Amino acid sequence: MPDPDFGLHTAESLKPGAFDALDYAVRSAPTLKVALERLLRYSRLTPEPAIFRMSSGSSTIHIEHCFGPGSDLPCRQEAEFTLASIVVIGGQIVDGGFKPVRVEFMHAKPVETGEHARIFGVLPGFSSKVNSLEIDRAMLDRQLITADTLLSRIIEGHAEDLLNAIASESVTEELRAALTRLLPQGRCTISAVAPMARTSERTLQRKLEREDTTFAKVPDDLRHDLGLRYLKEGRVWLAEIAYLLGYAEPSPFQRAF
């Protein structure tokens, strides 16, 4: 029988790395404030980019979630998964826990709301104008138990590179940005990338040809450039570099270089 709360339950089962660079940027931040700022900035790096807006009240912080212009309104499961993900990951990383004081959804109230109350710690409101949650303003200064100064610097630089690539009009650079997200998953295939670029495989190939390159060449060049950069920085273990470049273990990475 279908699970009516599968959006909530999927979020509840999230593990570190589920959102690639965005996930590590958030988890390695020093405080909840920095983590939320990174969520807002780097949410474009996910396969289906979402938009988050954050505003400050006298005693609370309001975090609103929506999809970009031209997107369909998020369905119940998408909206519940997204807000529950913030609460679940917040509970995993925030010293002292993470609990919203208010949660709102645009969709109508489901028949059963017991799981909502259990996961959010508060019964959400429904049929609202926006999908959002609010937290106590004092929580912003809480330290993260997953804070990692070194990893934070590396991932932030990596995420900025991805954003810069997305902003470029070059198809090759857009492809490099998409592949950088897919490298750790070992999914560097044109069939995996084309849907992310909202184009067909044949059209993507033609665009790359106009830029005097091929799909097969782009991931090889990307691994080479990223590998040299990480090695030059000297701040990442070989095993971590191998993972970021899509190698199952360090030895194939060493042979490749």
On whether the CB atoms of residues 160 and 21 are closer than 8 A, the answer is: no
The end-to-end CA distance of the chain, in Å, is 51
Q: Per residue in 202-220, pLDDT tens?
A: 888 888 887 888 888 888 8
**Domain termination site, one of 106, 141, 176:** 141
Question: Do 185 and 245 belong to one domain?
Answer: yes
At 66 the three-state DSSP class reads strand
How many domains are contained in the chain?
2
> Residue 150: inside a domain, yes or no?
no
DSSP 50: E
Domain that holds residue 41: 6-141
Residues 6 or more apart from 228 whose CB is under 8 A from it? none
CATH number at residue 177: 1.10.10
Question: Do 136 and 230 belong to one domain?
Answer: no
Question: Do 175 and 48 belong to one domain?
Answer: no
> Residue 163: inside a domain, yes or no?
no
Cα dihedral 99, 101, 106, 110 sign:
positive
Question: Do 60 and 184 belong to one domain?
Answer: no
Question: Do 105 and 183 belong to one domain?
Answer: no
Percent of the chain with pLDDT over 70: 90
> Residue 157: inside a domain, yes or no?
no
At 48 the three-state DSSP class reads coil
Question: Do 222 and 117 belong to one domain?
Answer: no
Instruction: Note the pLDDT of residue 72.
Output: 45
> What one-character-per-residue DSSP string does 202-219 give?
HHHHHHHHHTT--TTHHH
Question: Do 25 and 124 belong to one domain?
Answer: yes
At 103 the three-state DSSP class reads strand
Tell me what the mean pLDDT of segment 52-78 comes to.
Answer: 78
User: What would the two tokens of residue 59 be?
Assistant: 């005693």
> Residue 237: inside a domain, yes or no?
yes
Question: Do 77 and 116 belong to one domain?
Answer: yes
> Residue 98: inside a domain, yes or no?
yes
Q: How many CB atoms lie within 10 A of CB 191?
A: 8
> Residue 159: inside a domain, yes or no?
no
Question: Do 135 and 52 belong to one domain?
Answer: yes
Question: Do 123 and 204 belong to one domain?
Answer: no
Instruction: Note the pLDDT of residue 30.
Output: 97
Tell me what the mean pLDDT of segment 94-113 comes to.
Answer: 95
On whether the CB atoms of residues 68 and 52 are closer than 8 A, the answer is: no
Instruction: Note the pLDDT of residue 167.
Output: 63
> Residue 226: inside a domain, yes or no?
yes
- Model's pTM, two decimal places? 0.65
Query: What is Dmax (Cα atoms) for the chain?
Result: 58
* Residue 49 in this model has a pLDDT that exceeds 70: no
CA distances from 132 to 46, 154, 160, 164, 181 (A): 19, 30, 26, 28, 27
Instruction: Note the pLDDT of residue 70.
Output: 39
Q: Per residue in 31-44, pLDDT tens?
A: 999 999 999 999 87
Question: Do 100 and 177 belong to one domain?
Answer: no
Question: Do 198 and 137 belong to one domain?
Answer: no
> Residue 127: inside a domain, yes or no?
yes
Residue 139 — very low, low, confident or very high, per pLDDT cuts 50/70/90?
very high
